[in-house]
Structure 1
Amino acid sequence: MLNMPRFLLDDARAMRDPYPVYRRLRDHGPVCRGGPGQWVFPRYEEVSALLRDPRLGREFPEEYQEMSVGAGPANDYLRRIVVDRDRPGHTRLRRLLVKSLSPAMVRGMREPVGRLVDGLLDRFADEGRFDLVRDLAVPVPMMVMSELLDIPRPDRADIARLSTSLAQAFAVFIPEDKRREAHSAVVELREYMVGLLRERRRRPGEDLLSRMITAVRDGEEPLTDEEIIDNALFVYYAGFETTTNAIATGGDLFLRQPHTQRQLRADPGIVGSAVEEFLRYDAPIHATTRMAVEPVEVAGLTIRKGRVVVLLLASANHDERVFRDPARADLTRSPNAHLSFGGGVHLCLGAALARVEGAVVFERLVTRFADIESAGEGVWEPSEGGFRFPYWAHRGMPVAVRPA
C-alpha cells in the first residue's frame, strides 16, 4: 500500500498522451490511489467487473457535487438526469428513455445521416480540403441530435453553444467563472425547452421529445416535465459530444496509422468493426466514477462505503492481458469487448446511435475519397469539462482529400 502509485484526475485531464501513464499503472497492479477517499482501477478485469457491480452507485451526495460546481441550477440538474441516478429512480428513467430512443428509431436514422454526410462531402470534394473535426465530426452528430429533438434550425447553433457550457457541470472541479457559465446555461436551456415542450404537447410528432412525453411502460409513472427537459438536454449533449470525439479519433488514426485507411478502403464492409476499434483505441470518455454504497472487496482491497471508485476505461481498453498489441489499431480486431460505452445498468444510452453515425461517416469517407492526408497541424486541447466526463479534445484536424 505504501508504494502504491497515485493517479489524480485533475492532473490527468491536461495530458496530451496519457497512455504511457496508464501502462505504468497497469504494470504496477490492479489498483492505485487517487485523490482523497478515491481508489483508481486501470486494468480491464477489475474495471469490467466494477462497472457491473450493484454495490457501486452513481448518485453522489449533494455536498460532493457542490465541491465541483457549487449550489445552483447545474447542481439540481445533475441530480435529475439518468446518468447520475441509482435504483429505483434510475431504473424507471432508463426504461422510459430506452422506450423513447427505440432501436427502430435509431435504425431509421441511417438514411438521414447518409444524406447529411453526402451533402457535406460534396462540398469538400470540390474544395479538396477541409477540417475533419470542425467540418464533419462536430456538425454531423450535432445536426443528428437536433433532428432527433426537432429543434428549429435557427435555434440549433445557440443550443449547441449552451450545451457545451452546461457540460462543464460534469467536471471534477471548475473555477468560479465556469461555474457561473454552467448555471446560466442550465437556466437558459430549461427556459427554451419549456417552450419546445409546450409546442410538442399541442402538436406532437415523431421526434424524441414527443416520444418522451408519451412514454409509459409497465404501469410506471410517465416522465414529468422536469424529468423530460433535463434528460432531453443530457441526451442531446452526450449524443453529439461523444460521437464527435469518436469520429475525430478515427480521423486521427487515418492520419497517424495510414494502414487503417488502406484496410477500410480495401473492404468497406468491415466499417462496423472499424468503428469499434476507433472506440477502443482512444475512448471518447477516458474515465468514469462510482461511489461505494456498501463495502466492496476487489483485488485484495476492501473499498469502504462512501469511497469513490475511478474506473479508467481508456486504460482498460489497452490492457495487454485482453487486447493483443493494443497500441496498433486493427480494424478487424475480434473479439473487441472494449469498455468505451461503460457497462452494467449505466451502459451508454446512445451507443447504438453513435455506431450508426460512425459507420456512415467512415463508409462515405473511404468510398468517396481515394486518399485522406494531413493538411496542417491539428489542434488539441484538454476538455473544459474536466475528467469526470473527459471528452478527449481534438479541436481541429485539417486534411486534404482526393476524390476516388
Structure 2
Amino acid sequence: MIDMLVVGGGYVGLSLAVAVKQAAPHLAVEVLEAAPEDAWRNDGRASAIIAAASQLLGILGVWQDIEPEAQPITRMVVTDSRTGDPVRPVFLTFAGEVTEGKPFAHMIPNLALVGALRQACERLGVTIRHRTTASGFSAGSTHVDVTLADGSPLQARLLVACDGVRSKLRDMAGIKTVRWDYGQSGIVTTVEHERPHDGCAEEHFLPAGPFAILPLKNNRSSLVWTERTADADRLVRADDLVFEEELERRFGHKLGRLAVVGDRRAFPLGLTLARDFVAPRFALAGDAAHGIHPISGQGLNLGFKDVAALAETIVEADRLGLDIGSLTILERYQTWRRFDTFRMGVTTDVLNRLFSNDIGPLRLMRDFGLGLVERMPKLKDYFIGEAAGLTAKNNPRLLAGQPI
C-alpha cells in the first residue's frame, strides 16, 4: 500500500513528495502525472519565488541546483497611469532585500525548478507515474481506493490533489468552491532587451489590469500582462508586429529595443477558493485549493506554504504513530492554511478591483495611498517582510529554513 499518493506533478506536487519522503524515508510516496515524461521541458515560463519559499527549497536540497538560474529581485517599482500617458509617475518603490544580502524574491525559470525537484524525487526514491491520473476514488476507514485512468486500482493511506485550479479530484470529493471570473486574462511571455534591468521588477497599474515586468538572467524579463479577456485573446492571435507594438506601448523604451523570445499565452483570471481543504483521507494543496489573481505574485508561493504545512502535519503525525490520513490529523493542516489563503484571496481581489479601472475618484484615492506608504519606511519594511513570507508567527519549519 502507498502511504501518500499525490495527483499532479507540478511544483507543488513534486515539492510535497520530496518534503515528506526526505523527512520520513520509510513512507512510500508516489506521484501521478497526466502529462508525458518530458512535457515539462517545454515550459518556457518563469515564476517569482519569495524568500520563505527559497528557504524551503534549500532544506529540500534543490536550491543549490536552482540558484545559478535564479535572478534576485533587487528593487520593486509601482506606477499608476493610463496606457497612452507619456510619463508614468512612480508612486512607490521597495528595496529588494529583507536582510543584507537576502532578496525578498527571485525569478526562476520553471524548467530549472521542475528539473531540480524531479531529480530530488529520483534521488529519494519517489515514484512518478506518467500519462495517468486518478479517475475516481473512495475513502474507507483505513485507506482510500483509487482507480487510475486505465482502470487499474491503487490503495493509499492518503490522497493529495495537486491537480490545478480546475481540480477534478476536488469535485469528486464533493468539496465546494467560492468562485468568480474577473473578465480578464493574463498574457505571459518572455522578452529580451538591449539594456540591463539591474534586477528591478516593475508593476504598472493600467486601466485594464496590472502589467508586471519581472527580471530574468541575461537581459531578459518575464511579463505578466493583464487585459480584458477579449483583448488578450486578440493580442495572442495577432501577428508579431501588432503584438510588439502593443507591448512597447506598455513596456516603454527605457531598456532599449525589445524582442519577444518566448511563446505568448493567455490564461483566464478568476478567484477560486475551496470551502474545505480536507476530507477523509484526502487533502487539497496548491491551485486545487486556491486560485488567486497574479496582482501580488503570491499564487505559487501560497502553494509552497501549503506544502510546508501539510508535510509537517503528515511527518509529525507519523512520528507519533498516528494515522496520516485521518480527518483529525488533516484538519490541523486545514486550520493552519485556510485563514491565510482566504486573507490573500480577499486582498488580491480588492487590489484588482481598486486598480483595474480608470475611475477618477478611485485613482486619486489609490495614488494618495501609494504615496503615503512611500513616505513611511517602517510600513514599507513591514510590507516587504509580508511579501517575502518571513513575518508570520506560525510559519511551518520549512518556510523558516528549518528541517521538519
Shorter-chain-normalised TM-score: which range? under 0.3
Flag the structure with higher strand content: 2
Report the TM-score, using the length of structure 1 for normalisation: 0.23
Q: Which is bigger in relative contact order (C-alpha 8 A, separation at least 6)?
A: 1
Report the TM-score, using the length of structure 2 for normalisation: 0.23
Flag the structure with higher helix content: 1
